[in-house]
Chains A and B, each alone.
Chain A
Amino acid sequence: MASSSSSSSTQVKKITLKAADGKHFEVEEPVAMEMETVKSFFVGNEDAMKDMVVPLLNVSSEHMPAILDFYRNHSEFRKRTPPPPAEEVKAFNEAFLENKSDEQLMEMIMAANFLNTKELLNFLTEAAANRIKNKSVEYVRAFFGIENDFTPEEEARIRAENEWAFDGLDED
């Protein structure tokens, strides 16, 4: 950022990320470095940054704008003094999840896992846990795409061991 150039405009270094479907995203360096997976490309090899395109094989371009938006906002929240009011962070997080289907949420969790960013992964898994915690077993199987490998008898027996845990569920 501290360019010796006499130009008055501040030059922020950009890094090009390539999503799974080949689409390119130009991202400011500090934002890109929020992703440990991207950071690890450059550690000890800062020169590599110049023209390198970082392939993100497990991240669909559909989710890149939202994910980058999360990094930008949350790093701004962290830097701000005094820290932003809790309601402001909450409002951003709620808006982030709004209109996201279960499937989209799962895809973003996989992306955050691949990008190795704790903050985003923690936030998304907490959101997923909140979505499923009061749901039925069938809902959870569909949510994670899991096949039931119990026989009906086995399932009934395991269920009977903790029958109380099936009370008071939300509708699917």
Chain B
Amino acid sequence: MEVANSSIPVDVLYHNFLRLPAKSLLRFRCVSKFWCNVIDHDLTFANKHVSTRVATASDEPQTFPISLPEITPTAWHSFACDGNLIKRSEYPNYIDQGYVVCQVGYGLLCFRHKYGGGDTLLCNPLRKKF
């Protein structure tokens, strides 16, 4: 069970990935196609990563805690996570001021419309993906 163009067994690589902060993993998407694929698409890995990072309770902020100093129920502001700042201008257009953050957990922010209508949205603040 070896990775193409590398002699490291896949399970050894996984052990390593599980111990890296999200910021390093995003940078290491550039290492090779295989790494990019594992980091982007392996959902089992993503879930395991979150639980391992929590379990090891590392001394530096990882996917959380997310600091949300400025979010209020009425307005959207920028928020920062692990050194990554998401600005108001980077939110997708379809998210308007009616949305509020209702949950924070597992490295994701969950938004819902304050009047109950519309879809519930999930955001991965590290990836700026909605």
Q: Which of A147, A159, A166 meets B32, CB within 8 Å?
A: A147
Residues of A within 8 A of B33 (CB): 149-150
Q: Say how far B7's CB is from chain A's closest CB, in angstroms.
A: 6
Closest beta carbon of chain B to A135's beta carbon, Å: 8
Chain A contact residues (Cβ within 8 angstroms of B): what range?
A: 20 to 34
Instruction: Decide if A128 touches B27 in the complex (CB within 8 Å).
Output: no
For residue A146, CB closer than 8 A to chain B, the reply is yes
Note all chain A residues with C-beta closer than 8 A to B35: 146
Q: How far is the CA of A167 from the CA of B84 in the complex (A)?
A: 10
Report which of A106, A122, A145, A162 forms a contact with B29, defined as CB distance below 8 A: A162
> Is A140 a contact of B12 with CB atoms below 8 Å?
no
Query: Is the CB of B68 closer than 8 A to any CB of chain A?
Result: no
Which residue from A106, A129, A141, A167 sits with its C-beta under 8 Å from B31?
Answer: A141
- The A interface, classified by DSSP as helix, strand, loop or mixed, is helix
| Least Cβ–Cβ distance between B24 and chain A, in angstroms | 4
Residue of B nearest to A126 (CB): B19
> In the bound complex, how far is the Cα of B126 from the Cα of A161, in angstroms?
11
- A125 near B16 with CB under 8 A, answer yes
Query: For the complex, what is the distance from the CA of A128 to the CA of B7, rounded to whole Å?
Result: 16
Q: Are B6 and A133 interface neighbours, CB within 8 A? A: no
Check: B9 CB closer than 8 A to any chain A CB.
Answer: yes
Which A residues fall within an 8 A CB radius of B? 106, 109-110, 113, 121-122, 125-126, 128-129, 132-134, 136-137, 140-141, 144-150, 155, 158-159, 161-162, 164-168
